[in-house]
Amino acid sequence: MRDAYYEQLDTIVDDLVQLTGTVRKAVAASTAALLNADAPLAEQVIDGDKQIDETTEEIEERALLLLATQQPVATDLRQLVATLRMLTDLQRMGDLSVHVAKVARLRMPDVAVPVSIQPTIMAMASVADQMIHAASRIVANRDVDAASRLEDTDDEMDRLRKDLFRALLGGTWEHGIEPAIDLALLGRYYERIGDHAVSMARRVVYLVTGEIAPGA
């Protein structure tokens, strides 16, 4: 019976890592839709969020069932608690990818991001992608050292968002109010995606050490 229990625990972690990969693809697709005014791709991201939600709920149900029936303690208990919290992070990252896709859809057939700002948005999307990928590996390997390094990557995301705001608030902005609002929102969406990746990493630190990191 205990062998079956640990197999279920391992399967939950594997499924969590796989879901992280699905969310990563959604974020990348939403960025591609945004920068290329790709309507079918934007709709694919929006429609695909239902699958992310359903998968999240299915993993959550299995984790709760183990909590209720196996009464885990110590590391096993922390793993299930961390899993439930990381599922929330992933679901919210999926929602944020939908928000990006909806900005893209709102401005079609035009590209929502002015050419001069595209390098900054591309950089933010690239950092977000790196952070989600790192979070996936941190979860899979319980890598506390990599979790600490992810905080440094988050600093880069914060710097890029400040660069974006400087461009929006500078005297050379000539694209009007609506694009400025779009970009302020987009900057926030990518920053929050990074924040959720950091949150996942901090939960791994909690899982391994039992210590609750600030913001976890």
pLDDT at 214 over 70: no
Residue 8: which residues within 8 A CB-CB, separation 6 or more? Answer: 62, 66
Asked if pLDDT for residue 215 goes beyond 70, the answer is: no
Per-residue pLDDT reduced to its tens digit, 66-125: 999 888 888 899 999 999 999 999 999 999 999 999 999 999 999 999 999 999 999 999
**Residues near 115 by beta carbon (within 8 Å), at least 6 away in sequence:** none
0.85 cut: is pTM over it? yes
User: Using an 8 Å Cβ cutoff, are 66 and 80 in contact?
Assistant: yes
Any idea of the CA torsion for 134, 138, 144, 146, to the nearest 10 degrees? Answer: -20
Going from N- to C-terminal start, the domains of the chain cover 2-209
- Which residue in this structure is represented by tokens 């901090």? 202
Residue entry with tokens 């209720």: 68
Distant-in-sequence, close-in-space partners of 172: CB < 8 Å, separation ≥ 6 = none
CA atoms within 13 A on the CB side of 2: 3
More confident residue, 201 or 211: 201
Domain 2-209 in CATH 1.20.58.220: yes
Q: Are 190 and 125 in contact (CB under 8 A)?
A: yes
Mean pLDDT, all residues of the chain: 94
Asked whether 138 and 201 are in contact (CB, 8 A), the reply is: yes
